[in-house]
Amino acid sequence: MDYQKRLARLQKKLDRKKLDAILISQPENRRYLSGYTGGDHGIAETSGVLLALRKGRTFLLTDFRFKLQAEKETSGVEVMLYPKGLLELLGRLLPDLGVRKLGFESHYTLHSTAVELKAQLSQKKIALSPQSGLIEAMRIIKDEDEIAAIKQSVRLNEKVFEEVYSSFADYKSEIEVAIAIETAMRRYGAERPSFATIVATGPNGALPHAVPGVDKIQKNKSLTIDMGLILDGYCSDMTRNFVPGKATKRYTKLHRLVRKAQLAGMAGIRAGIRSCEADKCARSVIAEAGYGKYFGHSLGHGVGLAVHEGPSLSGRSKKKLKAGMIVTVEPGIYIPGWGGIRLENMGVVREDGFENFNTNSTWLDI
């Protein structure tokens, strides 16, 4: 990944906003700009923040625990430790760098941290400027290197599903299936799941974000598996629905309906179409069949370094899709007391259509 090119784009944004520098604490934004993966998945300040200056220099501020990792994972970035804490270091460093107006990520930084930072810097006559979505706007369009990385993440996700599916009789409960999936992800080299794996049997499938429990897998009932992994920083997200045993006529009918909606959604996506129009392509198929009230979420979402990012394929969004955006297409039907069916693929928006990354259709076309 060309991190220097990304930093140069950021510096132009800082110039337009008349910011001398910006603190980047959101983990995916920090990784996008530097390659640094950090050391935890909680508050980013515990493993470091990026300080990007408008005039070219970029610092990674961290502590002793992450020094070697930071030096190994980054290039063109100055690694600096804060043995007395981040705020103390900023109080000394920023005046020396000539920073008079400092941006920070207001949508991620803790309020308590912002208050302390303001108190520290006001003594140095440095103004704080809250910024939101600055880096996310850069991340929304993927370059071809990112697209290739996401394709590999999708391929590995499919491989894991196929392995677990081939030995499905070995698992008795939802949680056993989820554990098998996440174990296989790690075994094949994924960093971790991109979200907590969803396994929902029978009526549990009516919950779009069901949490797998000790419920036994129900034979001849709908089963939903929603899974994703992170490979080299980039996420995948896929949902498959099938029936362990023999599918009922009702299941087959609804599965085919959802698949028809998914195909319509993928066929309608292209650069220039509004998000709400893409959503309508799939939603109208389900609504016209009389199941519109059972499809209560948006058609899809963006995926990249985070499993949920822009754009949103929502009926409420009038933003136009652009080439290079990665999105999911995941229509669903959720019927209380019966269960649910969701089918989810990922792909990239192109000028002339949608490039579907998923290759396994055995569990989609029935």
**pLDDT, tens digit, 9 for 90 and up, residues 86-104:** 999 999 999 999 999 999 9
**Domain co-membership, 184 together with 42:** no
Local confidence band at 363 (pLDDT 50, 70, 90 cut-offs): low
Residue given tokens 């760098």 in the structure block? 97
**What tokens does 6 get?**
């990304």
**Domain co-membership, 131 together with 158:** no
The pLDDT of residue 356 is above 60: yes
- Answer whether residue 361 is part of any domain: no
- Answer whether residue 362 is part of any domain: no
- Answer whether residue 363 is part of any domain: no
* CATH for 89: 3.40.350.10
Residues 108, 110, 111, CA angle at the centre, nearest 5°?
120
Nearest to 234 by CA among 145, 301, 341: 145
- Answer whether residue 78 is part of any domain: yes
Q: Tell me, what amino acid is at 308?
A: H
The mean pLDDT value of the chain amounts to: 94
Task: Please say which residue of 91, 121, 139 terminates a domain.
Answer: 139
Give the whole-angstrom CA distance, residue 243 versus residue 223.
Answer: 6
- pLDDT for the residue 45: 52
The pLDDT of residue 41 is above 60: no
Local confidence band at 44 (pLDDT 50, 70, 90 cut-offs): very low
The pLDDT of residue 43 is above 60: no
Tens of pLDDT, residue by residue over 179-213, are 999 999 999 999 999 999 999 999 999 999 999 99
- Answer whether residue 271 is part of any domain: yes
**Domain co-membership, 244 together with 284:** yes
**Domain co-membership, 31 together with 11:** yes
Tens of pLDDT, residue by residue over 290-321, are 999 999 999 999 999 999 999 999 999 999 99
Mean pLDDT of 343-360: 96
Torsion sign (Cα): 16, 18, 24, 25: negative
- pLDDT for the residue 301: 98
Give the whole-angstrom CA distance, residue 195 versus residue 227.
Answer: 7
Local confidence band at 324 (pLDDT 50, 70, 90 cut-offs): very high
**What tokens does 246 get?**
């023999």
Give the whole-angstrom CA distance, residue 64 versus residue 81.
Answer: 6
Task: Please say which residue of 104, 139, 174 terminates a domain.
Answer: 139
Mean pLDDT of 40-51: 70
Tens of pLDDT, residue by residue over 152-166, are 999 999 999 999 999
Question: How many CB atoms are closer than 10 A to CB 170?
Answer: 10
Local confidence band at 46 (pLDDT 50, 70, 90 cut-offs): low
**Domain co-membership, 114 together with 153:** no
**Domain co-membership, 165 together with 217:** yes
- pLDDT for the residue 362: 64
**Domain co-membership, 65 together with 80:** yes
CA 34 vs CA 70, 79, 147, 304, 344: distances in Å: 9, 11, 18, 16, 31
The pLDDT of residue 135 is above 90: yes
Residue percentage of the chain with pLDDT more than 70: 97
**Domain co-membership, 122 together with 267:** no
- Answer whether residue 260 is part of any domain: yes
- pLDDT for the residue 120: 85
- pLDDT for the residue 72: 95
Torsion sign (Cα): 254, 255, 256, 260: positive
Pairwise pLDDT comparison (75 vs 301), residue with the higher score = 301
Domain that holds residue 58: 3-139
The pLDDT of residue 328 is above 50: yes
Local confidence band at 47 (pLDDT 50, 70, 90 cut-offs): confident
Task: Please say which residue of 93, 123, 139 terminates a domain.
Answer: 139
Mean pLDDT of 229-242: 97
Pairwise pLDDT comparison (323 vs 114), residue with the higher score = 323
The pLDDT of residue 226 is above 90: yes
* CATH for 220: 3.90.230.10
Our count of domains for the chain comes to 2
- Answer whether residue 366 is part of any domain: no
Local confidence band at 42 (pLDDT 50, 70, 90 cut-offs): very low
Mean pLDDT of 324-350: 98
Pairwise pLDDT comparison (120 vs 348), residue with the higher score = 348
**Domain co-membership, 79 together with 228:** no
